[in-house]
Structure 1
C-alpha cells in the first residue's frame, strides 16, 4: 500500500470534516476497481465495524463492501456477518449507508452474490418489525437492481419481483416496482 492510500485512510479518520469527506470519496472511488492493498487495511476495517463512532462504522462497512472485489482469499465470507450487523446499526443513517453499499459484496463472485442475496431476501421477508422497514425494503430492492444490472441475471430480477409481489401496501408495491422499470 503506497503512502497516498495510507494518507487517505488517516485523513478519513481525521478531525476535519471536509478532509474526512474528501478522503472518504477518494477511497470509495479507488476501491470501485480491484486494488492490491486490501489486506493492508482489512483487519482494521473489520475492527472499525464496531467503532464507537457511527461515521467510522459506516465508512468501514462501505470500504469493506467495496474491497470485496479485491479479496481473493474470500475473507468477506467470514466477515460478512459483522458487516451485515452494521446494516442494523442503532443509528439509522449508519445502517442505511451500510445497507446501500452491501450489494458491492455481491459483485465479488458467485458465492458472495449468493450470500448477499440470501441475507437481503431474509431481511425483506422478516424485517417488517424494524423501524423504517419500508425504506430498508426499498434499499434491498435497489441493491438487487444493482446486482441485476451488474450480472444481467434474470434470477435476481425474478427474486426481487417475487418479493415485491408479497407487499400488501399498493403505494410501496408501486414504488418498489418502479426500481425495476
Structure 2
C-alpha cells in the first residue's frame, strides 16, 4: 500500500468529518479495481465489522465488499457471515449501506457470486417481518441488477424476476420491477 492510501485509512479516524469523508471516497474509488494491498487491511476490516462504532461497521462492510475482487485467497468465503451480519445491523442506515454494497462480493468469482445471490434471495423471501422490509427488498433487487450488469448471468435476471413476482403488493412489485426496466414493461 502506498503512503497516500495509508493516510486515507488513517484519516478515517480524523476528528474532521470532511477529512473522513474525503478519505472514504478515495478508498471507495481505489477499490473499484483490483488492488495489491487488500490483505494489508483485511483482518482489520473484518474485526471492524463488530465495532461499537456504527460508522466503522458501515465503512468496513463497504470496503470488504469492494476488496473481494482482490481476494485471490477467497478469504471472503470464511468472513462472509460477519459481513452479512452488518446487513442486519441495529442501525438501519448502517445495515442499508452494507446491503447496498454486498453485491460486489459476487464479482470475486463463481463461488462468491453463488453465495451472495443465495443470501440475497433468501433474505428477500424471509425479510417480511423486518422493519423497513420494502426498502430491504428494493436494495436486494438493485443488488441483483448491479451484479447482473457486471457479470451478465441470466440466472440472476431470472431470479430477480421470480422475486419480483413474489411481491404481493402491486405498488412495490412495480417499484422493484422498475430496476429491471425491460421486465417492468410486462407489469403495466
TM-score w.r.t. the length of structure 1 is: 0.99
TM superposition shift of 1:111: 0.5
What secondary structure, in the 3-state scheme, does the structure 2 residue paired with 1:29 have?
helix
Structure 1 outlier segments of 4+, above 2 Å: none
Hey, what does 1:23 align to over in structure 2?
23
Cα distance in 2 for residues equivalent to 1:179 and 1:2: 38
Structure 2: state its 5+ residue gaps.
Answer: 182-188
Hey, what does 2:79 align to over in structure 1?
79
What secondary structure, in the 3-state scheme, does the structure 1 residue paired with 2:114 have?
helix
Cα distance in 2 for residues equivalent to 1:138 and 1:96: 11
TM superposition shift of 1:142: 0.2
Structure 1: state its 5+ residue gaps.
Answer: none
Q: CA RMSD in A?
A: 0.5
Hey, what does 1:41 align to over in structure 2?
41
TM-score w.r.t. the length of structure 2 is: 0.95
Q: Tell me how many residue pairs correspond in the alignment.
A: 181
Hey, what does 1:68 align to over in structure 2?
68
Cα distance in 2 for residues equivalent to 1:134 and 1:61: 22
Cα distance in 2 for residues equivalent to 1:154 and 1:71: 25
Hey, what does 1:109 align to over in structure 2?
109
1:8 aligns with 2:13: no
